[in-house]
Amino acid sequence: MERKVVVTGIGIVSPVGLDRDSTWKAILAGQSGIDRISAFDAEAFETKIAAEAKGFDPLVAMDKKEARRADRFVQFATVAAIEAVKHADLKITPENATDIGCIIGSGIGGIGTISEQHKVLFEKGPSRVTPFLIPMIIADMGSGHVSIRLGTKGPNFCTVSACSSGADAIGESFEIIRRGDAKAMVAGGAEAAIVPISVAGFSSAGALSKRNDNPKAASRPFDAQRDGFVMGEGAAVLVIEELEFAKARGARILCELAGYGATADANHITQPAPGGEGAARAMRIAMRKANLTPKDVDYINAHGTSTQLNDKYETMALKAVLGEDAYKIPISSTKSMTGHMIGAAGAIEAGFSVMAITDSIIPPTINLENPDPECDLNYVPNLARKGMVRTVLSNSFGFGGHNSCLAFKRVIQ
């Protein structure tokens, strides 16, 4: 028997807010979290801008020793997970711990620690490298730390699928609950890759915006003047539960997680498949599982990276799946404000999708001033839009040809 899955909690650390409520308020106001890089001296770099989680303090949820032994992406994950579980009012006890699991995705893992300790190795020698190096850098440690901190003893692992990592963490958690292997999952993504080596790498690949003179306007999905994505950082975590488990404990149900589709392009290491063929298949799978037709979809949170090919091919994929309805459905890219949070992107955008349903409001795509003629859909330019939101699709696509789509539905209680 396939079980219904619902969302009961959300936790967020982002470039526009250090918790769920402040982040959502900033998103609806169209505020950009992009600025000149402050984490290191970027003067010699072609790209000097990013979306940093400024003012983040891990000590709001971790003690000093724990924080010192955890990479920044793990710190983000821990803070977001604790907020999500508190929001869900989920009490994890010895009696239910084995029924609750945790999946936290990360595209890059502890690259900040790798960079720091590589310098230590060459300046001070191998004996000075921290004994916590390996537990700090491996990508599963977001999930591992959160599980240890919360006491979850159900399924526990990390999804690593580049920019689809956070969405896949939520999607795989959905499947785990549907088949009965857990009753609740703490699921999301975390990333902290705004360090010299990764900024240099993405920049050398030609992926990043170089709009250094106007950071707030640099991320401009679907705009004709877009010139690349802007790196972001942070984490987002959802608590998802089997419907009957949530009802039995009196949980407040935010919405239903009704569908998940995942596909591969099998095309190119960085470029999406022509026409968004793989993306279209992921959307169709999610819609089929959620029993949705194009006319049922009220809003789409697009992957919308602000790169030339992604925005063009995602638009083509939306048209292929939705037909003429593609022109009627509001679509927006919140990456215009948060930047691209890599492994956390799909998770925070899933959170925005849920909040769009609960608050009946659609976030905008900011900086959309000169629409690309090839991107001619309804991208909710610059201002949030009020309106009934019953169903949402959230798209995530990653380097390596990974495509994921999550489908959310309003629950009538």
Angle between helices 72-88 and 141-150 (to 10 degrees): 40
* pLDDT at 88 (0 to 100): 98
CA dist 203 → 11, 53, 108, 245 (Å):
30, 20, 16, 46
How much is the pTM?
0.97
Amino acid occupying residue 139 = A
Q: How far apart are CA 90 and CA 101, in angstroms?
A: 13
| Pick from 4-8, 120-124, 216-220, 269-273: least confident | 269-273
The predicted-structure confidence for 169-192, as pLDDT tens digits, reads as follows 999 999 999 999 999 999 999 999
CA atoms within 13 A on the CB side of 136: 20
Which parts of 166-321 are beta strand (E)? Answer: 184-191, 234-242, 255-264, 299-301
Active site residue ranges:
163, 303, 340
Query: Is there a contact between 143 and 110 (Cβ–Cβ < 8 Å)?
Result: no
Identify the CA nearest to 318 among candidates 339, 290, 299. 299
Q: What is the mean pLDDT of residues 302-322?
A: 97
**β-sheet bridge partners, residue 393:** 300, 407
Q: What is the mean pLDDT of residues 7-26?
A: 98
What percent of the chain has a predicted confidence (pLDDT) above 90? 98
* pLDDT at 53 (0 to 100): 98
Q: How far is CA 218 from the centre of its chain?
A: 19
2 pLDDT band, cuts 50/70/90, is: confident
Tokens 């006890």 -> residue: 93
Q: How far apart are CA 241 and CA 33, in angstroms?
A: 31
Q: What is the mean pLDDT of residues 394-410?
A: 97
Amino acid occupying residue 14 = S
* pLDDT at 413 (0 to 100): 62
Q: What is the mean pLDDT of residues 356-384?
A: 98
* pLDDT at 37 (0 to 100): 98
What percent of the chain has a predicted confidence (pLDDT) above 70? 100
* pLDDT at 390 (0 to 100): 98
Q: How far apart are CA 134 and CA 258, in angstroms?
A: 37
The two three-digit tokens of residue 247, written as one number: 């009802």
Residue 339 in this model has a pLDDT that exceeds 80: yes
Average predicted confidence (pLDDT) for the chain = 97
The predicted-structure confidence for 226-282, as pLDDT tens digits, reads as follows 999 999 999 999 999 999 999 999 999 999 999 999 999 999 998 889 999 999 999
412 pLDDT band, cuts 50/70/90, is: confident
The predicted-structure confidence for 93-128, as pLDDT tens digits, reads as follows 999 999 999 999 999 999 999 999 999 999 999 999
By residue count, the chain amounts to: 413
Domains and CATH numbers, the chain: 5-248 (3.40.47.10), 259-409 (3.40.47.10)
SS3 270: coil
